[in-house]
Structure 1
Amino acid sequence: MKLFKKIAFVFLIIIVLFCLGGYFYFQKKFTPPENYLKVSGIAENIPIKWISSNENPHSALLLPIEIKGINRTFYMQFDSGSPVTVFYKKSLESIAEKFQNQLKIDNENSSIYSAFKIGKMNVASNDFGILDYGEKINFDNPNAENIIGTIGTDLLEKRITVLDFKNSQCSFIEKIKEDDFANFEFKKRKILIPSVIENENLKLLYDSGTSGYELITTKEIWQQYRNKNSAIKTEKGNSWGNTLSVYSASAKKKIQFGKVTLNLSEVTHIEGTSDLQKFLMKRSGMQGMIGNKLFLNHKLILDCRNEKFKLE
């Protein structure tokens, strides 16, 4: 009997250590790195540029930027689902080839020291990450949408962000009078906004990388919210090179953010995400993601540092 108790105790210790190890592994893996951005100045009324794909006119939101020392306008995608600002390797290599000595790419550590401007706001870092992604720059076409990277929520941590979708403008400012602002969660640089649909409280991740969709949720909630017998639109999505199956259907619901109520006319679910992503979604307590499409006729103000937001 004593031997059995000792064996059971050893197994219990192993299970506890395994659980603790898993916890610290996930904490380390999904905790964003320190925010190394150095930001000065502000950017006001920066024009938003939309990318269209298939039948979706708002599939991505781009902001114009200038790299220090290069008199050209490039674009970076505004992605509130990314906790870090990164550049694309293939795009940078073609810039470095044309403008020698302006960019210092550290291929060994997949990072770069650089600085760029959005309006009158300067953003610099000794350690911008680089993804093996992107396309060569088209220098011959002055109207080309040369996308060289992604702006993440590390920038939003440094400035109050005003997304004026109604007037297709964006601002990054330092101060604003916060009347009638509501709370949201800013965990691991993820923006989790509270909402209400049919008297049910939901926590939704604002991910502008899913720009052209109103609400992306689980298949079960998708079945609950969509109009029955409505046509299902099927698309292929791309997440950093991974192909996803995207299913959208019409809906007729009301969704409330703070004191503002919007019409939810479409609901979407995605297949092809990993079991790990599904697990993390459940662990975070969020019930779905919202993109930019839901806010197209409104202004969204995000103060990530103080976890306050307002929808006008």
Structure 2
Amino acid sequence: MKLFRNILLVVLALLLVSGIGGYFYMRKKFEPGVNQLSVTGLPATCTFVWKADSTAQPVVAHAALLVPARLPGCPRTCYFQFDTGAPTSILYARSLAALRGRYPATTQTLLPQADTVRNFQFGLGSGSVQARKIKVLDYGRSTLPADSTEPFIIGTLGTDALEGRVLVLNYSTRQFSLRADVPTSLTSQTVFVPLDFASRRVMLNAAVQGKPRQLLFDSGSSAFALLTSRATWEQMAQPQARVRHAAVNSLGTTLTAHTVATAATLGLGQVAVPLHTVTYIEGTSFMQSALMRFSGMGGMLGNEPFAERTIVLDVRGGRFGLVHQ
């Protein structure tokens, strides 16, 4: 009996130690590195464009939200995908190589050292963004499109650009405005809910089906209203509604999105915003699923619920706003 008790105590101690170790491991994996971006010349205002996914059936018109960037030595306007699900901005190695080949004046500024470009700078509207160092991922297009008006994506602009600032996104006019403060003209017209920016994730307090949830606002999930677990998806789906299945490209990895109609609404203060659809993703890695559970998020909110509306990400003031229509 004493031996059994000692073995049980050892097992419990090992579980406790492994649990604590797992907690700190996941916390470290979830924490982004030190912010390398500085932004000057605010407000930085520009017109964003939607990138469509013509491979999906039906065609997804709002597959990605792209913001224009001006690079030194490059006469062509390039684009970043704006992704609030990414806490750190990155560049795409294949896209940079294509630019260096076409525009030799960019060679010095766009040539990575190992997997990093140093002192990278670009113009964003009337503002300027500089990164002391920025990671380069083996991704992107290897050739420039023949049509000079077709957006050429060179990387992802993440939430490191938002830290300590305010972003006003007007979906109806496609205006992206990075600012130091919330415009006075919008304050009285906006309903605000708490926003948490820990680990540079845009987490907002909202209600889904009348229940409080902490949701990650992920502008990179442009084509979806709400991404959630399969169990929640089944609860929210309208009975007998047809399910749409679509392949989703996530930085080279193909996932499967299952989307169905829902009558559920998103509650922001006293305002109820129809979701129309709800989606769960199949094929995510164990690490991605574990990070979502570790973060405590109740789902990912995309751009679609705010189509034709204006939202305010007041990171500086810790609040998320929806402008009254």
TM-score by length of 2: 0.89
> d(CA) in 2 for partners of 1:104 and 1:45?
24
Cα offset, 1:83, TM superposition: 0.3
Cα offset, 1:2, TM superposition: 7.5
Residues 1:68 and 2:72 aligned together: yes
Cα offset, 1:70, TM superposition: 2.3
> d(CA) in 2 for partners of 1:243 and 1:140?
26
Residues 1:192 and 2:203 aligned together: yes
Number of the residue aligned with 1:36:
36
Question: What SS does the aligned partner of 1:25 have?
Answer: helix
Q: 2:268 aligns with which of 235, 257, 269?
A: 257
> What code does the residue aligned with 1:265 have?
H
Number of the residue aligned with 1:145:
151
Question: What SS does the aligned partner of 1:188 have?
Answer: helix
Q: Is the 8 A contact 1:247 1:269 kept in 2?
A: yes
> d(CA) in 1 for partners of 2:86 and 2:226?
18
Residues 1:162 and 2:197 aligned together: no
> d(CA) in 2 for partners of 1:231 and 1:2?
60
Q: Is the 8 A contact 1:258 1:310 kept in 2?
A: no
RMSD of equivalent CA atoms: 2.1
Residue deviations 1:250-277 (CA, integer Å, cap 9, x gap):
1122221123221121111111112332
Q: Is the 8 A contact 2:45 2:124 kept in 1?
A: no
> d(CA) in 1 for partners of 2:25 and 2:278?
34
Cα offset, 1:68, TM superposition: 2.3
Cα offset, 1:104, TM superposition: 4.6
> d(CA) in 2 for partners of 1:127 and 1:44?
21
Cα offset, 1:310, TM superposition: 0.7
The 3 A distance-change label for structure 1 pair 111 and 30 is farther
Question: What SS does the aligned partner of 1:210 have?
Answer: coil
> What code does the residue aligned with 1:93 have?
A
Cα offset, 1:197, TM superposition: 2.5
Q: 1:182 aligns with which of 186, 189, 193?
A: 193
- Using the TM superposition, name which of 216-225 and 42-51 deviates more: 42-51
> d(CA) in 2 for partners of 1:157 and 1:273?
28
Residue deviations 1:226-285 (CA, integer Å, cap 9, x gap):
111111111001111111111111112222112322112111111111233222222322
Number of the residue aligned with 2:122:
116
Question: What SS does the aligned partner of 1:281 have?
Answer: helix
What's the % identity of the aligned pairs? 33
> d(CA) in 1 for partners of 2:318 and 2:248?
30
Number of the residue aligned with 2:316:
305
Number of the residue aligned with 2:291:
280
Cα offset, 1:18, TM superposition: 2.5
Residues 1:233 and 2:244 aligned together: yes
Question: What SS does the aligned partner of 1:208 have?
Answer: coil
> What code does the residue aligned with 1:68 have?
P
- Unpaired segments of 5 or more residues in structure 1? none
- Unpaired segments of 5 or more residues in structure 2? none
> d(CA) in 1 for partners of 2:43 and 2:282?
38
Q: 1:126 aligns with which of 124, 132, 157?
A: 132
Q: Is the 8 A contact 1:165 1:296 kept in 2?
A: yes
Number of the residue aligned with 1:85:
89
Residue deviations 1:177-197 (CA, integer Å, cap 9, x gap):
455532122121111112213
How many residues are aligned here?
Answer: 312
Q: 1:99 aligns with which of 104, 120, 123?
A: 104
The 3 A distance-change label for structure 1 pair 5 and 78 is same
Query: Of Structure 1 and Structure 2, which has the larger fraction of its residues in strand?
Result: 1
- Using the TM superposition, name which of 174-183 and 210-219 deviates more: 174-183
> What code does the residue aligned with 1:95 have?
L
Cα offset, 1:6, TM superposition: 6.3
